[in-house]
Amino acid sequence: MRRFHLASMGLLLAVLAGCESPTPGELDPSIRALLSGPLIMQVGEVEGFQGESSARFGVEGGPEGSEYILVVSHLSTQGGASVSLTVQADGVSTAPAPAAAVGTEATPLDPGLEVDDLPGLEDHRFHQWLREQEVELVEELVGRLPGGGLNLLLEAAPAPAPLPQVGDLLELNVNTLSACEDPIFREARVEAVSRHAIVVRDLANPQALDRADFEEIARNFDEKVFPLATRNFGEPAREIGPPRTTIFYTTAVNELASGFGGLIGGFFFARDLFPRTSRDGFQGCPASNEREMFYMLTADPAGEHGQAIPVEFIRTRTLTTVVHEHQHLVNASRRIYILGTGNLEAIWLNEALSHIAEELLFYQESGLSPRMNLDLEDVRANQRRLDAVNAFQVPNLARYITYLVDPEAHTPIDPQDGLEVRGASWSFLRYVADQHVTDDADFFFRLVNTDRQGAANLRAELGRELPDPLARWSIANVADDRVSGLASIHRHPSWNFRSLLPVLREDGAFPLTVEGLQPGVPVPVTIRAGSAAHFRLGVAPGERATLTLRASGGGAPPATVRGSLVRMR
């Protein structure tokens, strides 16, 4: 027996030497199968079971009884994949607390946080469709050319365009349903020119915004957006068009809602980065506007071009869209013109970086910083903070809520865009930056300035595989600021979501769906790769419970499945 014990310890050390070290309060799941007998856990402890070892494990109720959360994670990084399982608990209490009780918080009478009452804002179907068009376009124009086509592209690029003056008239293509064909030109007037921006108004727009509004937009871009973006992502390539970012306010964006079913705040389209004319082996894009630009929703108080858009909405919320779309512009222009690569960033990570840009603008304008575990009282402490969180961060929180309502059906690494995906990918990117990065700006810059994509990009810049961060993020989603004694790796350092999210919901409850397990009742669940399902169970004093996970065919779960048990009480 002694010899067997020593051999097991030798295996234990060998496994630990070959993988990421377990964190305090979390036993590495790769060695969990070496242990036998039911678990006796302290409040806040986390135990992991992966692959075959997650098929069956036991837990003690202890002398006073105990309550647990079981987080079942699907840790594949193939975001479009799913796994179907059955979860069953035997020996658990017959009446665990209802799911809504997990994290329900009292809602203040006047929280001060505001959710937009304009339905369908940022319609994800349009953005998914647009990003897919871009990927195909860039691959077609430069992806198949030597070195990403950079030399041919630079040779084909027109001479630098002169800087326009206020009052100049431009003709800009607004047809987004076709990348390089069938341009639809609108006449537009330059309303403001600053050090870094050209703000342009479609002459078909209602006379709602005046020149002072456009000058304020240009000033805010120079003073708030451009320096922030440069620190964290880099400057635009500035290899085509006038040496400024063109911000085009046009009813063409308002009118897109009728075709896609939801209001769109603005968009960037990579086709405008390419020359119109074919030359020396480079195929041009005749419908390009040949400039670094993005398109913006405009004020339309009477709803002449779709849904009514108040002037005040544009004045207070337009900067969020500007910083978001500017990240897309920087990301694409630097890949195409500086790195010379023919591949754009994966949609989910590209969107996550743009939502990080919104969050960074919140920190800048509020005077706050990441890793402060901000709660409701923190962001309500003064008007500056409250204005900043409403303008720049509440939309991120609202998207994150849409993910938490049904986490097993969505994932932060999903190749298909959606508000749930954006909420999850922003939260996950913030989590890994908080947990594994010392210089946020350098980390985000490196994510943008590479030819890698998606999970491979994030893995390379973190210097670690993604399954452990994904599993721990899913634990943090349910346990942070709820369970005492929780290790820091299972927390969200920047945000106290337990305090903030309930006030954005009519029912005042924390949104994460947690299902109570009843004794002997199998619960089927299908989980997207990169996400998790959450269950609650209780074990009576002196009793022992057994948890069983089965694959859809009845066998042991695959190696990508991890069951993490968190003792709550």
DSSP per-residue codes, 441-464: HHHHHHHHSSS--HHHHHHHHHTS
Q: Residue 175 to residues 294, 418, 442: CA-CA distances in angstroms?
A: 13, 23, 36
User: Across the strands, what pairs with 27?
Assistant: 47
Q: Residue 355 to residues 321, 322, 358, 473: CA-CA distances in angstroms?
A: 10, 11, 5, 18
Residue 85: other Cβ atoms inside 10 A: 23
Structure-token pair, residue 54: 């997650």
Helix (H) or strand (E) holding 69: strand 66-74
Reply yes or no on whether the pLDDT at 408 is more than 70.
yes
107-111, 113-117, 277-281, 290-294: the lowest-pLDDT one: 107-111
pLDDT the model gives residue 406: 96
Reply yes or no on whether the pLDDT at 416 is more than 90.
no
pLDDT the model gives residue 31: 42
Percent of the chain exceeding pLDDT 70 equals 88
3-state helix, strand, coil in the chain (%, to 5): 40, 20, 40
Reply yes or no on whether the pLDDT at 63 is more than 80.
yes
In this prediction the pTM is 0.90
Reply yes or no on whether the pLDDT at 8 is more than 80.
no
Average pLDDT on 331-339 reads 96
pLDDT digit string (tens) for 256-270? 875 555 688 999 999
Cβ burial, residue 315 (10 Å; 0-12/13-18/19+): middle
pLDDT the model gives residue 37: 59
DSSP 58: E
pLDDT digit string (tens) for 296-322? 999 999 999 988 999 999 999 999 999
pLDDT the model gives residue 25: 52
pLDDT the model gives residue 259: 55
Average pLDDT on 467-487 reads 97
Reply yes or no on whether the pLDDT at 236 is more than 90.
yes
Average pLDDT on 113-133 reads 67
- The whole-angstrom separation of Cα 141 and Cα 311 is 39
Average pLDDT on 69-74 reads 97
Cβ burial, residue 459 (10 Å; 0-12/13-18/19+): middle
pLDDT digit string (tens) for 154-189? 999 999 899 999 999 999 999 988 999 999 999 999
Asked if 275 and 156 touch (Cβ cutoff 8 Å), the reply is yes
Identify the three-state secondary structure at position 506.
coil
Reply yes or no on whether the pLDDT at 27 is more than 60.
no
Give the list of residues 6+ apart from residue 34 with CB closer than 8 angstroms, or none.
8, 11, 12
Pairing relation of β-strands 293-296 and 523-528?
A: unpaired
pLDDT the model gives residue 125: 74
* 355 Cα distance to chain centroid: 6
Asked if 480 and 490 touch (Cβ cutoff 8 Å), the reply is yes
- The whole-angstrom separation of Cα 216 and Cα 271 is 28
pLDDT the model gives residue 1: 31
Asked if 565 and 32 touch (Cβ cutoff 8 Å), the reply is no
Name residue, tokens 């002459």. Answer: 203
Reply yes or no on whether the pLDDT at 214 is more than 90.
yes
Asked if 50 and 562 touch (Cβ cutoff 8 Å), the reply is yes
Q: How confident is the model at residue 116 (pLDDT cuts 50, 70, 90)?
A: low
Average pLDDT on 26-52 reads 71
- The whole-angstrom separation of Cα 474 and Cα 487 is 14
**101 or 422, which is more confident?**
422
pLDDT digit string (tens) for 149-158? 899 999 999 9
Structure-token pair, residue 249: 């306010």
Reply yes or no on whether the pLDDT at 32 is more than 70.
no
